[in-house]
Amino acid sequence: DAGVIQSPRHEVTEMGQEVTLRCKPISGHDYLFWYRQTMMRGLELLIYFNNNVPIDDSGMPEDRFSAKMPNASFSTLKIQPSEPRDSAVYFCASSLGAGGPRGEQFFGPGTRLTVL
Amino acid sequence: DQQVKQNSPSLSVQEGRISILNCDYTNSMFDYFLWYKKYPAEGPTFLISISSIKDKNEDGRFTVFLNKSAKHLSLHIVPSQPGDSAVYFCAASEGNDMRFGAGTRLTVKP
């Protein structure tokens, strides 16, 4: 397996534009997570899915952020409209089980988002 | 509300010496703890874990210690190597809920 795949790797956009980040989890994993990494707050969980269903989106900063998982092999994180404070590295991760011994998460390489 | 805290943003050690990375947590219901390692421009990768029923887990040069009464865990790397230079994240889980610390940047000097 190629691991978790994220695209694009880098995104530079202007304030107010819509941004869509994409993720392909490892085949067979039933949990998918979206994280944001910033210098100030470290690694923050935004939302996670179990079997394509959103389970906990309490980490989503505000209504400008939305995430979908239409099938087991694809998820998107959308920001509309984007703002400069959204600039960060966004990681997608997947796992077999959400916690405990089966819960080691496999991370993608991340998308570095810069909003000007 | 940061339930998992890594109070040292950075640590520098000499090659061959011991590196000790610390992590504190507030939720006594956490029952599984993990350390992840992250190189620049890559995602974090799993390094080592420990269940709350244990107080020590060792894997080669890496040992994780858990002190449940103090709600504290630590990662020991002995001997440290330049290739260990990375950001280390501590994580703790309770069922489906996993929380990460902010990370500690370790630099191992040759």
Work out the minimum CA distance from A43 to partner chain B, whole angstroms. 6
Helix, strand, coil shares of chain A, percent, nearest 5, are 5, 55, 40
Q: What is the DSSP string of chain B?
A: --SEE---SEEEEETTS-EEEEEEE--TT--EEEEEEE-TTS--EEEEEEETT-SEEEETTEEEEEETTTTEEEEEESS--GGG-EEEEEEEEETTEEEE---EEEEEE-
Q: Do A99 and B45 touch (CB under 8 A)?
A: no
Residue B96: left if φ>0, alpha if ψ -120 to 50, beta else—which one?
A: alpha
pLDDT band at B105 (very low <50, low <70, confident <90, very high): very high
The pLDDT tens digits of the residues spanning A61-87 come to: 889 999 999 999 999 999 999 999 999
Which one of B24, B98, B105 would you mutate to disrupt binding with A, by most A Cβ within 10 Å of its Cβ? Answer: B98
Rounded CA-CA distance B44/B27 in Å is 23
Higher pLDDT, residue B1 or B30: B30
The pLDDT tens digits of the residues spanning B15-40 come to: 999 999 999 999 999 999 999 999 99
Tokens for A77, please give them.
Answer: 């994180």
Minimal-distance CA residue of chain A relative to B31: A100
pLDDT of residue A1: 65
Locus of tokens 């060792």: B58
For the residues A95-109, what does the mean pLDDT come to? 80
pLDDT of residue A74: 97
Which residues of chain B neighbour A42 with C-beta distances below 8 Å? 6, 89, 100-103
Which residues of chain B neighbour A101 with C-beta distances below 8 Å? 32, 49, 51
pLDDT band at A99 (very low <50, low <70, confident <90, very high): low
Which residues of chain B neighbour A110 with C-beta distances below 8 Å? 41-43
For the residues B102-108, what does the mean pLDDT come to? 95
Rounded CA-CA distance B18/A5 in Å is 35
**Model confidence at A100: pLDDT above 70:** no
Higher pLDDT, residue A68 or B98: A68
